[in-house]
Chains A and B, each alone.
Chain A
Amino acid sequence: LAKTTQPISMDSYEGQEVNITCSHNNIATNDYITWYQQFPSQGPRFIIQGYKTKVTNEVASLFIPADRKSSTLSLPRVSLSDTAVYYCLVGDKAAGNKLTFGGGTRVLVKP
């Protein structure tokens, strides 16, 4: 199974860039890396997904090194509304499409 490891929490300030790194040493060849954002009392929502190198959308960027054993979610110029829990998820085809979330990273954006 492709287990993921993330920091438990991170603090930041409005306007700063937040980078969250996720380790997934056992990632399989066909696995994608996906990041979710969860606000309190809501279901997680998809932020970004990638396979290798760099992916960017209107919300975030995802950096994946060549060995794919880690990935970094980058949130540019965060605001108070970016305070949430961020989950890194790696697809596990061998387990039959089971989706297992780790503990996530609790990001607190301060004014």
Chain B
Amino acid sequence: SQTIHQWPATLVQPVGSPLSLECTVEGTSNPNLYWYRQAAGRGLQLLFYSVGIGQISSEVPQNLSASRPQDRQFILSSKKLLLSDSGFYLCAWKSVGTTRTEAFFGQGTRLTVV
């Protein structure tokens, strides 16, 4: 069966520090991968998505970046965090080659920038 791992669960970082959040998927090949951010009480904002290794689409201009060094690994990074980067970050995957929109989410990372 397919599983998705996302870590860490919580993170407190000072302003200006770097960030690296990792997401890995097991049990599937060549998935679409997604990073979302959710501010408190708000909806899901799509940050990045990837349809293959090294292929990253950015949805919102910001100081975040994403990379996909391996088929089932998706990394969200920042060189210098801002207070506005605080939020709940979610990784998700979806099967490729279908218009069905069933995606599977990780448990999320609660990031607080102080």
Contacts and interface: CB of A to CB of B under 8 A. Distances in A.
A81 interface: no
A77 to B, nearest CB: 25
Contacts of B105: 43-45
Taking residues whose C-beta sits less than 8 angstroms from the other chain, chain A's interface range is 20 to 34
Contacts of A43: 90, 92, 105-108
Contacts of B103: 44, 46, 99
Given A42-B107, A87-B43, A99-B92, A32 B101 contact: yes
Nearest to A85: B43
Q: Chain A interface mostly helix, strand, loop or mixed? A: loop
Contacts of B57: 96, 98
28 contacts: A30-B99, A32-B100, A33-B101, A34-B100, A34-B101, A41-B88, A42-B108, A43-B90, A43-B105, A43-B108, A44-B105, A46-B104, A49-B102, A87-B44, A89-B101, A91-B99, A91-B100, A91-B101, A93-B99, A96-B51, A96-B57, A98-B57, A98-B59, A99-B32, A99-B34, A101-B36, A101-B44, A103-B42
Interface in A64-110: 85, 87, 89-91, 93, 96-104
